[in-house]
Amino acid sequence: MAQALTTAELLALPVTVDLVTAARAFGIGRTKAHELARSGQFPCPVLRVGHTYRVGRAALLRCLDIDDPALTPAPTAQATDLAS
């Protein structure tokens, strides 16, 4: 089985990834990942696209409880700051 992904590698993933890449994030092997996806028990939502499975990066990060800086809103100025 391939080594699990680091947080930096997870944050650098594209919008969707193949099932095997998502499985690596959980420390799950290829065969088990496909079994879980077929039975609807993969740890995060899986999209079936033709004959392949895809996993959204945002869903993957949520399931792993990793904050995605790309989705974190920038701080806004307080009303008192604007009055100065």
- DSSP states along 25-74: HHT--HHHHHHHHHHT-SSS--EEETTEEEEEHHHHHHHTT---GGGSPP
pLDDT digits (tens, 9 = 90+) for 43-61: 999 999 999 999 999 999 9
Cα 53 from Cα 19, distance rounded (Å): 6
Cα 38 from Cα 33, distance rounded (Å): 9
Banded model confidence at residue 34, pLDDT cuts 50, 70, 90: very high
**Average pLDDT value for the chain:** 88
What is the average pLDDT across 13-36? 96
C-alpha distances (whole Å) from 17 to each of 36, 38, 39, 73 are: 16, 17, 19, 24
